[in-house]
Structure 1
Amino acid sequence: MKKTIAILALIITSTSFGVEKYPVEHFFKDSAMLSPALSPDGQYLAALTPLNINKETVSRCKKKTTKNKSRSGVVDFCDVSRRNIVVFNLGDPNPNCKKGIISECERIRVTQLRSQNVTGFVWVNNSRIMFQTGGDQLNDMTGAIDSIGIYAVNKDGTEPKQLVKPSDAITNSKIISTIPLSLLPFDPEHILVMRNDRKRYQLDIYKMNVYTGKFNRQLLPPGPVVAWGADNDGAVRLAAMQDENSLNYETQIMYRDDEDSEWREIDRFEGLQNGWSDIGFTEDNSKIYVTSNLGQDTYSISLFDPETGMMEDLFASEGTDVTSIGFTPTGEAITVLYNDIDTKPKRHYLNKEWEQTIEGLKAAFDVDYVGIASMSEYAEKMIITIASDTIPGEYYLYDTIKNTVTFLGSTKPWIDPKTMSPMQPVNFEARDGETIYGFLTVPLDSDGKNLPLIVNPHGGPFGIQDRWGFNPETQYFANQGYAVMQINFRGSGGYGKRYEKIGYKRWGLEMQDDISDGVQWAINQGIADKDHVCIYGASYGGYATMAGITLTPELYSCAVNYVGIWDLEMLYKQDGRWDDRLGRWFRNHVIDIKEDKEQLKKKPLRVTILKKIKAPFFYCSWP
């Protein structure tokens, strides 16, 4: 990634401004702190922090002149760190710790991973932490398989246990997923998980022992279940069923009153982009909070009564999907979380007391939004976050009993927000009249005119959306003197099902036109220098890069395709990955290779004509 960015910065000419230019590492080196979380009793705090894996061999690394070779290629692990879990004892009697100086509290690094990162963790009780990993190497396997492993360790670093081994998750080339569903408040030694060990697209419910890794199947599913829902006590009471051979993706919602009751159907609907899903039960477990787009374009929040089948509308945001609610650990719904049309984070309060608390914190910090990263079980303590387009992230411990706030740390404390460039929401009209949304970031001390432009289409593409917030790539480019444009072309998520659906089967067509029209808009506005525009994208963004430099070569003076797609027909045929259900999805959403041959001939959906590439071009792929 760093090499890709450095090369991109070199192959187009930037405008020199007075702001200090920072090196790549300033933006991309490992964060100092990530994902802080409180134990249920609030006495301990765990967080991800970097561990220099070569601390004991720094001198050897400095003398190193050649790179190590592994089976997968060339790897150099010198000067590399890995994210590991550190646990802080907030009850440490140390006077400075009592004053709230977290760095003075007793701490223990409970993991010492050297070949991988800890990618996520959760407190499963007051003593035990369960975590997942991903990264460079594990048992000679790389890539997505790394993250299948699940582990657990005590807060003092004792009793480490691998609960799910990556090698156990591969059976006849089938990936068996283990997905946490619910903690069990009355059984701290177990959690509920979902596993697809019987059928690829069907999930069964198991109890998993967080000390031994032993699985026990809990119930017989009422049919081909693809998703489950549990109430606040850990009782499984909801099931979404889909027949994998169904041509219309019909979903059947099953419900039961308690664990001893029979399953009954409470709803049925068709389509992948149509229906509702549960967010959580009410605190008394009688009703269900759902996000639904039935009978409307965008998702909104409703309260579903399984006894009557009635939906009570709670909140909708015009033009954007709303899919999330913030709960306390005991299940009290406090606020709807959503993004406005500019994708800035917003709240709609469901609880007046919590509204006063959060609005008071906003006023104290003088910010538009305060996030809540973690709470103790009864919300005596919470970790709040401050972040924006120029602030990578700051964490604070808020004691609701003492009404005190203590600084915990920053994700990137070496970055001064005053040196970062604001991310400006923009919109423009595409050639067919569709309104397209996106973002423009310009160098901090420029006048925003006649700048070299990097257009950065996102991956996916369907359901994915570029959002307002701190982006290290964008900030690096802006710091080096480039304007950056991110476009949520049709097919992107977050704007309702119509906006996503008009992108289906339009790769290289209207989806690409939206990007081209965005570039032309920036040129017409005097923002971009038409002779210095580069396109850079990964995954689908890589496909858009190829389409851009072959279909509209006059627009771009350079291009970078990072792990991107070259050819749709080759993508469809490779590895048999699009068999059965996935194949049907590909034919309905991207292209039907058999039925759409005329379209392949007449329309620029196959980006393979290298002779059309006129601009400098760089391609980066996995080894």
Structure 2
Amino acid sequence: MVEDSATGDTRLEIKQTYTYYSKSVNWLYDWVSWPFDDTILSSAVEFTVSGDKFKSRSVFLTINPETGEKKVLAASRKRNLDKELDSPKLIASDAERREVTLAIHKKASVELVSINVDTGRQRLLDTANSRTLTWLLDDSMRPVMRIEKSKSGGLHQYYSSQDGGRNWTLRFQHDPLNEGFYPVSYSSKNNKFIVVSRPADAEHAGLYEFDLHTGQFGKQLFSDSEYDLSSARKRRGSDDLLYSALWKDKLEKHWFTPEDAKLGRAIDSALPDEANWSVFDMSLHGQAWVIYVSSPINPGAYYVLRNDLKRLRKISDARPHIDLSTTSMPRRVDYQTSEGLALRGYFTPSTRSPGHAPLIVMPHGGPVSRDVMDWDGWAQYFAHRGYAVFQPQFRGSGGFGQTFERLGHGEWGRAMQQDIADGVHALEQAGLVSPDQPRSIVGASYGGYAALAAATMTPDAYQCAISYAGVSDLPR
């Protein structure tokens, strides 16, 4: 459905089903992008039904936003429905060249293909192995960086090319589970990448220039003194940075121009105090933004901001079936461990019996991860079912800097486990939970390990321990 961004009026509805001859054709859209004013791009699965025979193929198509006319630019062979289809991934687009670049999966490889959206003419830019995750392109739509998984799957490997993808050299690799490294943009002017990362000698993850050819970090563009940077956003079609973002409890932003900072404050004031928002997409020249807004009591919604109108209009809810009147607002709980380490946790009261509910302790996974004051489906589900939920941010959690993260090294089942117990004690001291109410501990991944460790080491503390995909054999 194509809507007017100012009024919300429907301008066009694109049909999912049509019939030609005796065949019924159905479209299942995988993703949609609108990089050019007059052309919508989409990846879809096309199902053809003829009598009792079913066939499917993956297609890449353009859609005219005025007429709804579809044009298939690339497609896989038709296959039976029991065969899995890989949708092409959009890597980049260039309005002047009228080209888009896709990663298309083959049997044992991935091809980087540039397609002209008017003529359908294709250019093969690169062929890589099936472990390839993505590419970065320069201003001429030539590949300059390729990111692959290692054969073991444990590392991300960064390759550079100085001749448009004909030759590649491994320049850098990192462990994505424990070392954040997120490319934001590439500038052909100085042959530098801008990345969110934490160099070995830095306390917090920040925004840096990075030279892929030398594997060295350059100038720091922004860093916070207390928290790790989590993301950054640049303007569409430009190397200019818009903002960088970090989670304190809520999502906060550092803007790179006074004009953008003023607009950011205006959006903040138009939304509820508990809301977190980020730019999801923007129009070609930045006149309109699509922003995604969520909060601890709202799973999220998409809004459009037209800069000429200076107002937000909701496009749709992300999960409209959820009754927001049944959600529960969490609160931050600050506490100290028995040895004096300052920690925090998030407490979500039961929506049915606040103050007298059984408690679920829910340590996060990772353990280099963290919870924030945003939507958590598990916590809200348990609160709706009558439980209070506590999410402790024990030592070793991510987002608080390298020193805090290293405090957890070697402390699985030891100090990290005690941090969880100290948090539960702090809830009792604050009168948020009753000592005589039943207690459970629930977690996934590292949180599952913590649940198993609690059942093993403190069997009387909990009536129930649930491990979802929990680590259970540390040597392995």
Q: TM-score range by the shorter chain?
A: 0.7 to 0.9
Is residue 232–residue 331 contact of structure 1 (8 Å, CA) maintained in 2?
A: no
Shift of residue 279, structure 1, vs aligned partner: 1.2
* In 2: Cα distance, 1:292 partner to 1:317 partner: 12
* In 2: Cα distance, 1:263 partner to 1:402 partner: 47
Pairing 1:56-455 to 2, within 5 Å after superposition: 87-90=1-4, 100-102=6-8, 104-111=9-16, 120-123=31-34, 125=36, 126-131=38-43, 152=61, 154=63, 156=68, 158-159=70-71, 163=75, 179-188=89-98, 190-193=100-103, 198=108, 205-207=112-114, 217-219=124-126, 228-239=135-146, 244=151, 254=160, 256=162, 259=164, 268=172, 273-274=178-179, 276-282=181-187, 287-294=192-199, 295-304=201-210, 311-342=218-249, 344-365=250-271, 367=273, 370-411=277-318, 420-430=327-337, 435-443=342-350, 449=355, 451-455=357-361
SS state at 1:106 partner? strand
Is residue 208–residue 220 contact of structure 2 (8 Å, CA) maintained in 1?
A: yes
Is residue 103–residue 134 contact of structure 2 (8 Å, CA) maintained in 1?
A: no
Give the AA of the match of 1:519. Answer: V
Determine which of 365, 372, 379 is the counterpart of 1:467.
372
Shift of residue 324, structure 1, vs aligned partner: 1.9
Pairing 1:27-42 to 2, within 5 Å after superposition: none
SS state at 2:295 partner? coil
Answer yes or no: is 1:568 the counterpart of 2:475. Answer: no
Shift of residue 526, structure 1, vs aligned partner: 2.7
Answer yes or no: is 1:592 the counterpart of 2:475. Answer: yes
Structure 1, gaps ≥5 residues long: 1-86, 92-99, 134-147, 570-590, 594-623
Give the AA of the match of 2:464. Answer: C
| Closer, same or farther: CA 229–437 of 1 in aligned 2, 3 Å | farther
* In 2: Cα distance, 1:246 partner to 1:363 partner: 44
Shift of residue 355, structure 1, vs aligned partner: 1.7
Shift of residue 378, structure 1, vs aligned partner: 0.9
| Closer, same or farther: CA 488–326 of 1 in aligned 2, 3 Å | same
* In 2: Cα distance, 1:544 partner to 1:213 partner: 54
Shift of residue 349, structure 1, vs aligned partner: 0.8
* In 2: Cα distance, 1:165 partner to 1:357 partner: 48
Is residue 147–residue 156 contact of structure 2 (8 Å, CA) maintained in 1?
A: no
Shift of residue 423, structure 1, vs aligned partner: 2.1
Task: String of CA shifts for 1:552-587, please: whole Å, max 9, x gaps.
Answer: 2211133445xx236735xxxxxxxxxxxxxxxxxx
Counterpart residue number, 1:549 = 455
SS state at 1:548 partner? helix
Is residue 209–residue 215 contact of structure 1 (8 Å, CA) maintained in 2?
A: yes
Task: String of CA shifts for 1:538-560, please: whole Å, max 9, x gaps.
Answer: 45544443433343221113344
SS state at 1:523 partner? helix
Shift of residue 439, structure 1, vs aligned partner: 1.1
SS state at 2:438 partner? strand
* In 2: Cα distance, 1:331 partner to 1:187 partner: 15
Task: String of CA shifts for 1:337-365, please: whole Å, max 9, x gaps.
Answer: 322332x1111011222222222333344
Give the AA of the match of 2:380. Answer: Q
Is residue 130–residue 210 contact of structure 1 (8 Å, CA) maintained in 2?
A: no
Counterpart residue number, 1:485 = 390
| Closer, same or farther: CA 315–511 of 1 in aligned 2, 3 Å | same
Give the AA of the match of 2:40. Answer: R
Larger fraction in strand: 2
* In 2: Cα distance, 1:110 partner to 1:463 partner: 45
Counterpart residue number, 1:49 = none
Percent of matched pairs sharing the same residue: 22
* In 2: Cα distance, 1:387 partner to 1:250 partner: 30
* In 1: Cα distance, 2:193 partner to 2:301 partner: 33
| Closer, same or farther: CA 369–243 of 1 in aligned 2, 3 Å | closer
| Closer, same or farther: CA 337–166 of 1 in aligned 2, 3 Å | farther
Higher relative contact order (CA 8 A, sep 6+): 1
Give the AA of the match of 2:4. Answer: L
* In 2: Cα distance, 1:274 partner to 1:332 partner: 25
Task: String of CA shifts for 1:269-323, please: whole Å, max 9, x gaps.
Answer: 7766458552102496754211231121331102346799671211112343214
* In 2: Cα distance, 1:221 partner to 1:187 partner: 24
| Closer, same or farther: CA 260–537 of 1 in aligned 2, 3 Å | closer
| Closer, same or farther: CA 161–592 of 1 in aligned 2, 3 Å | farther
Is residue 335–residue 347 contact of structure 1 (8 Å, CA) maintained in 2?
A: no
Task: String of CA shifts for 1:19-77, please: whole Å, max 9, x gaps.
Answer: xxxxxxxxxxxxxxxxxxxxxxxxxxxxxxxxxxxxxxxxxxxxxxxxxxxxxxxxxxx
Shift of residue 161, structure 1, vs aligned partner: 8.5
Aligned length: 449
* In 1: Cα distance, 2:466 partner to 2:180 partner: 38
Give the AA of the match of 1:183. Answer: S
* In 1: Cα distance, 2:380 partner to 2:97 partner: 46
Is residue 193–residue 207 contact of structure 1 (8 Å, CA) maintained in 2?
A: no
Shift of residue 516, structure 1, vs aligned partner: 3.2
TM-score, reference length from structure 1 = 0.58
SS state at 1:331 partner? coil
* In 2: Cα distance, 1:246 partner to 1:477 partner: 34
* In 1: Cα distance, 2:471 partner to 2:262 partner: 54
Task: String of CA shifts for 1:408-427, please: whole Å, max 9, x gaps.
Answer: 34445687767643222234
Answer yes or no: is 1:526 the counterpart of 2:408. Answer: no
| Closer, same or farther: CA 285–325 of 1 in aligned 2, 3 Å | farther
| Closer, same or farther: CA 462–543 of 1 in aligned 2, 3 Å | closer
Larger fraction in helix: 1
Counterpart residue number, 1:607 = none
Task: String of CA shifts for 1:363-407, please: whole Å, max 9, x gaps.
Answer: 344647553232211122222344322344344332223445434
* In 1: Cα distance, 2:389 partner to 2:348 partner: 5
Give the CA RMSD over aligned residues: 4.8
Is residue 326–residue 333 contact of structure 1 (8 Å, CA) maintained in 2?
A: no
* In 2: Cα distance, 1:271 partner to 1:262 partner: 24
* In 1: Cα distance, 2:156 partner to 2:293 partner: 41
Is residue 163–residue 210 contact of structure 1 (8 Å, CA) maintained in 2?
A: no
Shift of residue 440, structure 1, vs aligned partner: 1.0
* In 2: Cα distance, 1:414 partner to 1:245 partner: 40
